[in-house]
Amino acid sequence: MFGIETASGPEGAALIIGLVLVEALILYVGYGALERLLGPTLTRILRGE
């Protein structure tokens, strides 16, 4: 994926782990926004209102 599957060595390792960290932070912010947007509606549905 993105041509970095075989990245190795300290620089390659830092690149891959850095990418995982960036993806995690983007997902945290993205899902957080989604939660704020849809959370109350979803909670109301689950509460049976």
Summarize as ranges the residues that interact with another protein (CB under 8 A): 1-2, 4-10, 12-14, 16-17, 19-21, 23-25, 27-28, 30-32, 35, 43, 46-49
Closest approach of another protein to the CB of residue 48, in Å: 6
Rounded Cα distance, 27 and 49, in Å: 29
Instruction: Give 4 or 37: the residue with its C-beta nearer to another protein.
Output: 4
Task: State how far the Cα of 11 lies from the Cα of 17, in Å rounded to an integer.
Answer: 10
Of 28, 7, 25, the C-alpha closest to 16 is 7
Cβ closest to another protein, residue 13 vs residue 37: 13
